Chain A
């Protein structure tokens, strides 16, 4: 039963919505931790405890008061940016039309849920330290939606490039998933 050699454990304390301005404060953090264009990663981000202080420091010029206090009390948390997701949907709508998406609002709802599930996926598998984090997060999103949004995830990751490319999805070859997602060879 290789598939449950690692069990997902929901490890995040809270989820916060940021504005585009606030999220863009994280571009240096994202550049350091990413091999792809930072803007395509800023739709959402999972912040593990070890990066918390750096992220809070970068957010401090734009974020203050009760919102910042709430972030500070978390160990691991998720940041999501509806504004950037909306821009992403408007810019790339044509790419998703072939999936039968009828309008930008529908696309926005699906992408938002996907980004959220993807970031939760980072939180679920965060305790497994390796380089295939994006594979795990995308697999989690695919699993969560029973493969319904797999075509959307594929298009999305093609746009995002870098380590997002070739996501592992629920209907992919099982050996591939076992190796990339669950690290069992």
Chain B
């Protein structure tokens, strides 16, 4: 199985999907030879993580993905703000014309 992440299209849904793959599967290969894309080849999980580290790893993974999610949400906010500003400037232009 493989999953290709296009960084520019990354959103919270895709990020959660990726997190799910990493939690529940075995990574076979990661290929980043194509600019802006990461191809992850994975398979059914065969190796069980040493139990002593289960909670720690889950905690670290969750924290990291929370940070990434914040970045993505921040990016989305900037995009929306940018769109609102464009719309606002178009309206302002029209008002000025009248």
Chain B residues touching A, range: 20 to 34
Contacts of B44 in A (CB 8 A): none
Closest CB in chain B relative to A123 CB, distance in Å:
10
Closest CB in chain A relative to B77 CB, distance in Å:
12
Closest CB in chain A relative to B15 CB, distance in Å:
8
Given contacts A3-B71, A5-B7, A7-B10, contact A15 B22 (CB under 8 A): no
Q: Is the CB of A140 within 8 A of B64?
A: yes
Q: Is B91 an interface residue (CB 8 A)?
A: no
* 6 A-B pairs with least C-beta separation: A127-B30, A13-B47, A10-B22, A15-B53, A1-B75, A144-B63
A134-170 CB mask vs B (1 if < 8 Å, else 0) is 0000001001111000000000000000000000000
Complex-state Cα separation, A8 to B40, whole angstroms: 11
Q: Is the CB of A144 within 8 A of B64?
A: yes
Given contacts A9-B40, A10-B27, A144-B63, contact A15 B49 (CB under 8 A): yes
B43-85 CB mask vs A (1 if < 8 Å, else 0) is 0001111101100110011011001100110010000000000
Q: Is the CB of A14 within 8 A of B60?
A: no
Complex-state Cα separation, A126 to B29, whole angstroms: 11
Q: Is the CB of A1 within 8 A of B71?
A: yes
Given contacts A1-B71, A128-B32, A140-B64, contact A9 B7 (CB under 8 A): no
